[in-house]
Amino acid sequence: MTIDGHIAQITTPTERETRVERIFDAPRTDVWRALTDPALLVRWWGPHGTTTRIDRWEAVAGTDWRVVVTSGGVKQGFRGSFREVVAPERLVRSFEWEGMPGHVAVETMTLEELGPRTRLVVVGLFHTTAERDGMLNSGMERGTNDSYERLDEVLSSLAA
C-alpha cells in the first residue's frame, strides 16, 4: 500500500484493532517530541477549531495522563496511562474517552525513521469489535486527519 503522507490510512487488521498509518515530512526526533511534549501537544491534538488543555501529561511509563478538548464550549476529556515509553521509537498507552467510561483501548505507537521523514503507525486494541466499531463511527477518521494536519504545522515550525 502506498501512503501519500497527507492522509492517514485507517484499517482494521483484526476484529478488535484499528491501525492508523501516516508519513510526516519531519525527522523522527521531531515527531516524537511533538507526540510527547505537552507544550507542543496542545497545538495539534484535536480537530480543527478545537482547543486542548493538558491536565496531566508526562510521557513516563507508569504515569497517568488527561487531556481536555473544547469545541464550541463543549468539553471532552480523554485519559489513560503510559505503559511503555522508548524514545524516539515506541509509545504504549491506555486511552479512554470520559464520555464512555470503562471502554479502554490500548494504543501502540511506533515511529519509523525514513531518512528525513517518519512513518507513524498507531495500533489501537479494543476489548470488543463493537468498541472498535464505535470508535471508527465516532468521527475518528476526520479527527485523526485534522489532528495530523495540525501536527504538520507544528513540525514545520520546529524545522524553521
Across the chain, mean pLDDT equals 94
Q: So what's the pLDDT on residue 1?
A: 35
The count of structural domains within the chain is 1
Its domain, for residue 99, covers 9-159
Instruction: List, for residues 70-127, the tens digit of each pLDDT value.
Output: 999 999 999 999 999 999 999 999 999 998 899 999 999 999 999 999 999 999 999 9
**Is there a domain that residue 132 lies in?**
yes
State yes or no: pLDDT of 17 exceeds 50: yes
**Is there a domain that residue 74 lies in?**
yes
pTM of the model: 0.94
**Is there a domain that residue 127 lies in?**
yes
Q: So what's the pLDDT on residue 4?
A: 52
**Is there a domain that residue 98 lies in?**
yes
Instruction: List, for residues 127-147, the tens digit of each pLDDT value.
Output: 999 999 999 998 899 999 999
Q: Round to whole Å and give the CA distance between 95 and 65.
A: 9
Instruction: List, for residues 40-57, the tens digit of each pLDDT value.
Output: 999 999 999 999 999 999
Q: Round to whole Å and give the CA distance between 20 and 71.
A: 24
Q: So what's the pLDDT on residue 5?
A: 54
Give the CATH number for residue 49: 3.30.530.20
Strands, sheet with 9-11, edge to edge from the N-terminal-most edge strand: 9-11, 17-24, 117-125, 104-114, 90-97, 74-86, 64-71, 51-56
**Cell 478538548, located at residue:** 69
**Is there a domain that residue 3 lies in?**
no
**Is there a domain that residue 20 lies in?**
yes
Task: Tell me the torsion sign for CA atoms 17, 124, 106, 143.
Answer: negative
